[in-house]
DNA sequence: CTGAAAGCGCTAACAC
DNA sequence: GTGTTAGCGCTTTCAG
């Protein structure tokens, strides 16, 4: 009894392989492989015997070996800014992947360029069938050789810099236009914009679109457009500038979710009085007082389109590169319809 | 020219292998492997030559082949209810995995028992080093053979039924107690509970804990405890019962985030008057009016502990099974301190 | 319909 | 220090 103790408390007892199953069932390896892959050209009595052996031994085919041999992984990667945060695009990717019989390997870049690089290279080493990336940073030329080697890659939300790949993103300019015109229709003439840094692609596009709106209506651009870092201080300062300047704004467009939240936190109870339209929908937007009017991206469609583009690229590596722009829509809840 | 067109538009041009690198550098395969794995016993001039060849060919070692050969994957799986939603535990798992040099494969069970089963089996086939699961459903006996085969497995948030594995979860009873006593300290005697179905583990634990609180204070349990499905209708009915009955409650404890949100949506503007303490923190809880007082789970610690337990299990498969109960804490923001 | 044998790309004994 | 060789577990020509 005393000797047995150490004996069976061993590290993972090796799993059975196809050879073991073949021996157990008294057939050739090849036949087991056929049964595992549902090849119909196997006699029913063999099938039964082999399935029994598989169950008896609790055999699970080693996916890595199959992948190595067949060359495909049936797995796609998604390098997004955050898994584990509200991310309907990622949810849509996961759904689309599942429906297509693909495994999804999702990783967070955490807004870190170096980390994005590491994740992408790691995914290359894992020989994934393709990758969807929500790009961070400005320099993606290191992907050039991978693309040349045939890596199927799709950019989501932002284009990749320096390389030409399939891309899906929202119609930022149209969204800003919708927000601006909504507020104009509600009587506002001094409409301010606070948004993300112009070093970020979407921050650049949205700020530019907002300036274009102002110009088109003959409004002075000068003190109404405030792109920059999303910090409590910077957003607070921008808010002070637009609300307490000599010619205060009467309404506000916020350029993304983080800006919206920073503004609401800064305003506190005052938020009930300032007309706001936010870019990006916000979780619990309906529970705020007033409920938040937003320009919502069609994130579900963005994610689904990303997978579609990726599948098409995998199927036909030489097809022409495509950029899909997904429309945005407005969700009216109250904050954008306040009378100032 | 016309012939060339179809020629180089081929499917993924095969990637170079170690053999190619060895040929390019004029050395043996083994030496390339050594350099790739940073083996110090290689002459510096060889290292340089091989690294140059790797760069020239854009060689990336095939991770699958390495895994097949070495038997380890340096990858752990996480089967959680939802990725792509706010999930601090998953974020913590990802962080801990990264810091430990592990790749994380995260999948959503979507609250679907069948899907959980499929994901777990698929992870077994991929020969992951271990799995963290946030269990759904009641029957996990199908994991028995996998565990017997040495699969390292950790349950998070809820225990697995029928099998004995390492588990990490919150102190549900203590959390309910904190909420209850907080409201009592604010003068309430008729405190109601609305929460999840008692078929769900945490729903069961929390409802039981609430009943125990009532009993301990000599309050009648009868009409104050409302576990059940989280739907607008059911929660609405429960709310009506506790607020508009003959002896209405003056304060409410909600059993999880979804219940809290359903209650707030149902109450609408009335929410400003009903003292509420919610179990689970809620995104944007600070922006609600009143801001929401909650019993917050230490999700970051739960995730980190799950990875810790898993690593320990991988390192020492025979160690005794452990259950870690993580303390909860209260975040006071306003809703729980209302005078009714 | 079934069986023997080669090989996917890599690592690890073991000689040199 | 470096090279040769076997083999991880599977799929897949090719004969029977």
Q: In the complex, which nucleotide's C1' lies nearest to the CA atom of residue A29?
A: C3
Residue B144 has pLDDT above 90, yes or no: yes
Q: Which fold has domain B72-170+300-326?
A: Rossmann fold (3.40.50)
- What is the phi/psi pair of residue A298, to 5°? -90, 70
Q: The domain A3-61: what is its CATH number?
A: 1.10.260.40
> Which residue, B172, B186, B144, is CA-closest to B293?
B186
Listed residue (B311, B313, B317) closest to B74, CA to CA:
B311
A331 close to B (CB below 8 A): no
Q: What is the domain class of B172-298+330-337 according to CATH? A: alpha beta
- Given a cut of 90, whether residue A281 has pLDDT beyond it is yes
Residues whose CB is less than 8 angstroms from the CB of residue A231 and which lie 6 or more positions away in sequence, other chains included: A262
Domain extents for chain A?
A: 3-61, 72-170+300-326, 172-298+330-337
**B337 CB burial (10 A radius; 0-12, 13-18, 19+):** middle
Query: Which residues 44-83 in chain A have a CB closer than 7 A to strand C?
Result: 46, 65, 68-69, 71
Mean pLDDT of chain B: 93
Q: What is the pTM of this model?
A: 0.93
Chain B, nearest residue to A262 by Cα: B287
| Residue B72 contacts strand C, CB under 7 A | no
Structure tokens given for B220: 């009648």
Size of interface A-B (CB pairs under 8 A): 153
- Alpha carbon distances (Å) from A98 to A94, B108, B147: 6, 10, 26
Q: What is the pLDDT, as a whole number, of residue B340?
A: 63
Choose, out of A97, A151, A287, the residue to mutate when testing the contact with B (most B CBs < 10 Å): A287
pLDDT in tens, A63-96: 999 999 999 999 999 999 999 998 999 999 999 9
For residue B9, the model assigns a pLDDT of 31
Statement: the CB of A186 is under 7 Å from strand C: no
Name the closest residue (CA) to the C1' of nucleotide D6: B69
Supply φ then ψ for residue B92, to 5 degrees: -65, -40
CA gap A29, A23 in Å, rounded: 8
pLDDT per position as a tens digit, A135-194 = 998 889 999 999 999 999 999 999 999 899 999 999 999 999 999 999 999 999 999 999
What's the pLDDT at A11?
40
Asked if the domains at A3-61 and A72-170+300-326 fall in one CATH topology, the answer is no
pLDDT for res A1 = 31
Q: Give the residue from B152, B177, B206 showing the smallest Cα distance to B322.
A: B152
B197 Cα distance to chain centroid:
20
Asked if A43 CB < 7 A from strand C, the reply is: yes
Q: What phi and psi values does residue A115 have, to the nearest 5 degrees?
A: -65, -40
Is the CB of B83 less than 8 angstroms away from the CB of A90?
Answer: yes
Q: Is residue A63 classed as helix, strand or coil in its secondary structure?
A: helix
The answer to whether A27 CB is within 7 Å of strand C is yes
B35-57 pLDDT, tens digit each: 999 998 888 899 999 999 999 99
């Amino acid at each position: 009894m005393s000797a047995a103790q150490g004996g069976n408390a061993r590290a993972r007892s090796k799993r059975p392989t196809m050879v073991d199953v073949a021996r157990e069932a008294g057939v050739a390896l090849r036949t087991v492989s056929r049964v595992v892959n549902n090849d119909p050209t196997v006699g029913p009595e063999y099938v039964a015997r082999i399935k029994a052996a598989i169950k008896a031994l609790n055999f699970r085919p080693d996916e890595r070996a199959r992948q190595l041999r067949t060359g495909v992984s049936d797995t796609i990667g998604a390098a997004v800014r955050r898994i584990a945060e509200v991310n309907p695009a990622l949810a849509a990717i996961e759904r689309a992947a599942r429906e297509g019989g693909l495994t999804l390997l999702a990783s967070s870049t955490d807004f870190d360029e170096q980390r994005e690089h590491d994740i992408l290279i790691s995914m290359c080493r894992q020989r994934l069938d393709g990758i969807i990336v929500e790009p961070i940073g400005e320099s993606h030329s290191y992907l050039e050789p991978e693309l040349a080697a045939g890596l199927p890659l799709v950019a989501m939300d932002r284009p990749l810099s320096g390389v030409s790949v399939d891309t899906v993103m929202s119609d930022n300019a149209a969204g800003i236009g919708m927000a601006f015109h909504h507020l104009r229709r509600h009587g506002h003439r001094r409409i301010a914009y606070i948004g993300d840094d112009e070093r970020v692609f979407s921050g650049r596009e949205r700020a530019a679109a907002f300036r274009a709106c102002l110009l088109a209506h003959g409004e002075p651009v000068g003190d109404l457009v405030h792109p920059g870092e999303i910090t409590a201080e910077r957003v607070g300062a921008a808010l002070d500038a637009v609300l307490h300047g000599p010619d205060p704004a009467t309404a506000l467009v916020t350029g993304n979710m983080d800006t919206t939240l920073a503004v609401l936190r800064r305003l506190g109870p005052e938020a009930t009085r300032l007309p706001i339209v936010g870019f990006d929908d916000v979780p619990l937007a309906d529970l705020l007082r007033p409920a938040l009017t937003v320009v919502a991206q069609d994130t579900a469609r963005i994610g689904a389109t990303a997978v579609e583009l990726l599948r098409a690229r995998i199927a036909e590596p030489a097809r022409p590169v495509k950029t899909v722009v997904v429309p945005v829509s407005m969700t009216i809840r109250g904050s954008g319809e306040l009378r100032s």
